Chains A and B, each alone.
Chain A
Amino acid sequence: MAIKFAGDFEVKRTPEEVHDFLIDPSKFAALLPDFQGLSVQDSTHFTVKVKVGISHIKGTAEVKMELADVERPKRAQYKGQGSVAGGNVSLIAAFDLSLLDGGTGTKVAWQGEAQIFGRLASVAGGLLEPLGKKQVQKLIDGLQAALR
């Protein structure tokens, strides 16, 4: 089951500042909804724990993340894979940054796709897309607030 999401927002920071924030797991990961913990393996690999719960399916998702594509200050792309409650998730999330006209800030265009496998998709498939989009929106709201 695939959930796709995309959008953009503008902040008053420079592209370099935004980029540095996005590739810093200690800053970025903490914005994930229901964030539980983080362990950093190296400069491009880290593992986040987030709480997941839909109806009676509850648990902690452990997602291994990789900063797969970095081009400062234009682009940052994450790939992730994890498991939760009899299911697995793989995701790709990319941020493309561009300087706003007049150099007043940065436009952040974001897009991604999550593939859900297993019991979570089978039992709660109909709920996943709206829930996933809600969680992504929380992340984006958090990012906007942090980069204000």
Chain B
Amino acid sequence: MRDDADLDRLLADHAVRADVDAIGARRIRARAHDAMHAPRGLSFAWLEPTLALAIGVTQIVWAFHAVLALYR
């Protein structure tokens, strides 16, 4: 009866180690380097938080005016 650590070690020791062939490995690396140094396109990551903030501020202003109108 083997314990968990023994079984894990057996798996780690005996699993077949394989790698991509050399040509494939060079191709992937070259593409990744190209992607790393490619000029970045326009990013709209700022748009969503800005819109959320604008809507939130609008709601607060509207609520403030509604309370003012009620007590006037």
Is chain B a partner of chain A in the same complex? Answer: no
